[in-house]
Amino acid sequence: MKAAIEHLANRQLDPSLSRARGRLRFVGCVFAVAFASIAIRLVDMLPEEPVLREAPAQAAVNPRARPPILDRNGTLLATDLKVASVYADPSLIRDLEGTARKLSQVLVGVEAEPLLRRLRAGKRFAWVKHQITPREEEAVLRLGLPGVAFQFAEHRVYPKEATASHVVGFVDIDNRGLGGIEYALDSGSLADRDRTEPLRLSLDLRVQHAVLDEMRGAMDRFQAVGACGIVMDVRTGELLSMVSLPDFDPNHVDKAGSEQRKNRCSGQTYELGSLFKIFSTAVALDSGRIKISDRFDATRPLRIGRHTIRDDHAKKRWLSVPEIFMYSSNIGTAKMVFDAGGGEAMKDFLGRLGLLERGSLEVPELASPQVPSRWPEVTTATVSFGHGIAVTPLQFVEAMATLSNDGARVRPTLLRVDDPAAVPRTPVVRPEVVDDVRWMMWLTVAEGTGSRAGVDGYLVGGKTGSADKVDYERGGYRKNAIIASFAGVFPIEDPRYAVLVMLDEPRGDKGTYGFRYGGWTAAPVVSSIISRAGPLLGVQPSTREAGEIMEARRARVLPSAGDKQREKAVAANGAGR
């Protein structure tokens, strides 16, 4: 009975409870809406987070820090610095015109009107200026302008400016590598390395300075349109210097044109002319069909079908193999290659040296060689003296290093080698062939067309080269335009370094009697580079005994070495190609 009464009482109270609960729900909703409105307003009043969320694409920076780049001795070539950029939130600025005017007065390159248009664009984010200087940062802080703030990001700087620009490369505004080693760190062969460790290059900045100085002087003197200089360790493949001119300052790459950014050492191919006679002579000796004492008839031009091959400074007599090399005879060189097996032998040998394929290096600027698709006799002849085939100067230096060292191919590198014994070596040429070619390179400097490459204290070997420049637009060759070069090795009795200098369209002057050939324009530059770089690299001077050995061999192979008339002829031929 008692339970029934309580149940009835509860039923009678239900309408009151229902109304109370409804009122509570209504009040709760009101409070929820009010708090939500307040929260939205508070968020709207906070500039930092919403601004950065609204413009991630505009304000994006590369979060990956870049490693410092050093030369082989620890000299800094590239590093990251935290740099401020200025941006604004126009919604927090009451006086847009005044703000634009004040910022334009303290920020170099910022004009008031364009900035005001950006501020009035109705967005919550507007860049004012990227990458300001510390002085500009201080000036903006002193203004104390509402709605103006800083964003900090890594900015790449190059303390040595243009000194090694084509090797080091450059980055874009978001610190992404776009050229040289910088590109390799992001997208190339170095992308997987530990980015917290400094990257040490093979470059020796002291040698790089010497080469750059000499190359700039030669380019200015001979009014060349471009130039390349390379110094390579023939035992390890390390590039101690690689200079391409004209160059650029990677701190201001936006001011550099395409010609300045072009890497003429590894990213451009050239017909290098008589430099190729190093390889042609080696082909002949390596075949086993030709001996260094053999002689060839160079009394008259060589006819191949409707083509005629001549010597620039014809001797018009039979020439021995060393004389063909030192006098740079086109006729004798072509005949040697024909007797050694012709086009197939030449093609096979150049392939072993890596001259028929794209070279290898850590930078992306690598051009593929331009190789004949067919090798008839006339093509074989022209290739033997460096026409009809185009390679990069870097590829040439690599191949020459093989033929001047011990016949083992070593790949070039821009990274410092800490253990020379671990460098991969691929034997491709017989040591006795290397010995003969090396001696003829010495003979060319001692008595032939490369005499202006001689250096007091070192025995130098090398070869001159002068090639008519290809006209890629019209076909054929350009009139009065040549590629002049000299490739040298020192000390030739125990080779350590290969040096190449190439001048694009040099002009002769009074000092060269108007001659623009490699023996007159490029060879003296190689001499100066060796004179400066040799002591820096700790290369000991050549001994008297080494010179006597070279001279004794000349007396055996060229019994007429003392003939005064021949010596005068050689001197007159100093302009040789």
CATH of the domain at 232: 3.40.710.10
Q: Rounded CA gap, 489 and 495, in Å?
A: 6
d(CA 142, CA 2): 84
- pLDDT tens, 188-235? 889 888 888 999 999 999 999 999 999 999 999 999 999 999 999 999
On whether both 145 and 280 belong to a single domain, the answer is no
Give the pLDDT band (50/70/90) at residue 312.
Answer: confident
Q: Above 60 in pLDDT, residue 244?
A: yes
Q: Are residues 169 and 221 in the same domain?
A: no
Cα angle at 114 between 112 and 115, to 5 degrees? Answer: 60
Flag whether 239 is in a domain.
yes
- The confidence score (pLDDT) of residue 558 equals 81
- For residue 165, is pLDDT > 80? yes
Q: Three-class SS of residue 453?
A: helix
Please give the Cα distance from 351 to 433 (Å, whole number).
Answer: 17
Are residues 228 and 172 part of one domain? no
User: In this structure, is residue 234 part of a structural domain?
Assistant: yes
Of the candidates 85, 202, 274, 287, the residue annotated as catalytic is: 274
Residues 447, 570 contacting (CB under 8 angstroms): yes
User: Are 163 and 299 in the same domain?
Assistant: no
Question: Is there a single domain that holds both residue 158 and residue 232?
Answer: no
Active site residue 274: yes
Q: Are 150 and 241 part of one and the same domain?
A: no
Give the range among 115-119, 182-186, 516-520, 566-570 with minimum mean pLDDT.
566-570
Residues 428 and 312 in one domain: yes
171 and 215 share one domain = no
Asked if 196 and 215 sit in the same domain, the reply is no
Cα separations in angstroms, 560 against 387, 437, 557, 567:
32, 20, 9, 10
CB atoms < 10 A from the CB of 563, how many?
Answer: 11
Q: Is residue 36 part of a domain?
A: no
- The structural domain count of the chain equals 2
Is residue 178 helix, strand or coil?
strand
Tell me the backbone φ, ψ of residue 406, rounded to 5 degrees. Answer: -135, 15
168, 214: one domain? no
Same domain, 401 and 455: yes
| Domain assignment of residue 34, yes or no | no
Range name among 285-294, 368-377, 461-470, 560-569 with the lowest pLDDT average: 560-569
For residue 123, the domain's CATH number is: 3.90.1310.10
Q: What is the pLDDT of residue 570?
A: 47
Residue 30 lies in a domain: no
Assigned domain for 4 exists: no
Q: What is the mean pLDDT of the chain?
A: 87
- Report the C-alpha dihedral over residues 259, 263, 265, 271, rounded to 10 degrees: -50
Of all residues in the chain, what percent carry a pLDDT higher than 90?
A: 76
Residue 19 lies in a domain: no
Range of the domain at 373: 208-250+269-504+524-575
Q: Is residue 17 part of a domain?
A: no
Tell me: do 287 and 172 sit in the same domain.
no
Cα–Cα nearest to 516, from 526, 528, 504? 504
**Partners of residue 129 on adjacent β-strands:** 86
Final residue belonging to a domain, choices 163, 182, 201: 201
Q: How far apart are CA 121 and CA 350, in angstroms?
A: 63
Give the integer Cα–Cα distance in Å for 32 and 57. 35
E strands within 126-210?
Answer: 126-129, 148-157, 170-171, 177-179, 199-200
